[in-house]
Amino acid sequence: MDKIKQITIPDHARIIVVSDIHGELELLTSVLEKVSFSSDDYLIINGDLCEKGSNSSGVVSYVMQLTEANDKVHVTEGNCDSLVEELLNESPTFIDYLRFRPQSIFNEWLKQIGYSIHDNTTVQEVKELLIPHFKDEIKWLVELPTAIETREYLFVHAGIENKSNWQETDREMALTMQAFLEKEHQAEQFVIVGHWPVSNYKSNIEVNNPIINYDKKMIAIDGGNIIKDTGQLNVFIIDRQKDGDIFSYSYVDRFPISKVLADFYSDGESSGVINYPYYQVKPIEVSIDFTLCEQVKTSKLLLVKNEYLKQADDSRYFVKTDLSCAQLSVKKGDKVAIIDDTCSGYILVKKDGIVGWISKNVI
């Protein structure tokens, strides 16, 4: 890993960390406003500014302006940001990527100059079109550091390898490593990562909030924004204190909010999460609203909402997408985000970053 940036953050400062924005400029500005971000704060954006969302070019321009106006704003590269090298290196698969990924900063840039790719478009042609118009943005993306190091913290998009000299981590691994919290590292600092949605780590209930592992000195903050149907854009906050830093977090999403009208208590049995790629299940017992299923990969028994089950041509059954199989307990007056209110009997909601089902009778 060659691009490592060292910075010094003084005591009593506040550090705000955001990752995996994925082109959602409105969510980024909303979450910074929610935590009252100011020029006195240190802001670390920990990779994946662009791709998959609706306004990648807007996010890149906005963050570039932040870094130019405030030397306390720092950015690491993510695997989605490093795709600019596929353009510069004229990767033969780049045009296929543009066709497959319409929500891409490159397609946004091409649209801004009035060009649409066609069957005969080449990567060389796209490169020649984009560089004159977006040379500053391209240069800025290419020069982003892979890691930012302070005395107490190491910010890297996906993770570091378990080596005595973590700086020897392969750059590709630093940008694409999966499930970092399940691994080990030998750095002295807390390692703060995004990239891998935190809900992938939970087995009994879907939670999108940051995870802190004090024993391993690891913090994972990717709330699954854009990647997960129930995702959110997390912001992780470090308040530097003389007696020890204090961690907290907040988040924003796009779901409408409703007030709970009556208490609802989980049955205590409905729990579990189905995550990609373990969608195959075996139905065991069908009821009005849920079907008791065995997850083929794990043999876990899960109550799956009937509307989320589908039967393949070969008669196997699958869950349509990542799905919470838990019920939530809520109280009258609670505010919940409505994720899916189209099913019979129950509504999929999120409360304080936790996703589950409640009865329609209480909304």
Question: Which three-class secondary structure string do you get for 129-195?
Answer: HHHHHHHHHHHHHHCCCCEEECCCEEEECCCCCCCCCHHHCCHHHHHHCCCHHHCCCCCCCEEEECC
Taking only the tens place, the pLDDT of each residue in 226-255 is: 999 999 999 999 999 888 999 999 999 999
**Residue 336: partners with Cβ closer than 8 Å, 6 or more residues away:** 257, 258, 260, 328, 330, 349, 350, 351, 358, 363
DSSP code per residue over 199-268: GGG-SSSEE-S-EEETTTTEEE---BTTTSTT-BEEEEEEE--TT--EEEEEEE-S--EEE--S-B---S
169 CB-side CA count, 13 A: 25
Angle between helix 56-69 and helix 123-142 axes, rounded to 10 deg: 30
Taking only the tens place, the pLDDT of each residue in 162-179 is: 999 999 999 999 999 999
pTM above threshold 0.75: yes
Average per-residue pLDDT in the chain? 96
CA atoms of 129 and 125, how far apart (whole Å): 6
Taking only the tens place, the pLDDT of each residue in 266-295 is: 987 788 999 989 999 999 999 999 999 999
| Tokens of residue 126, six digits | 């796209």
Q: Is the pLDDT of residue 203 over 80?
A: no
Q: Is the pLDDT of residue 204 over 90?
A: no
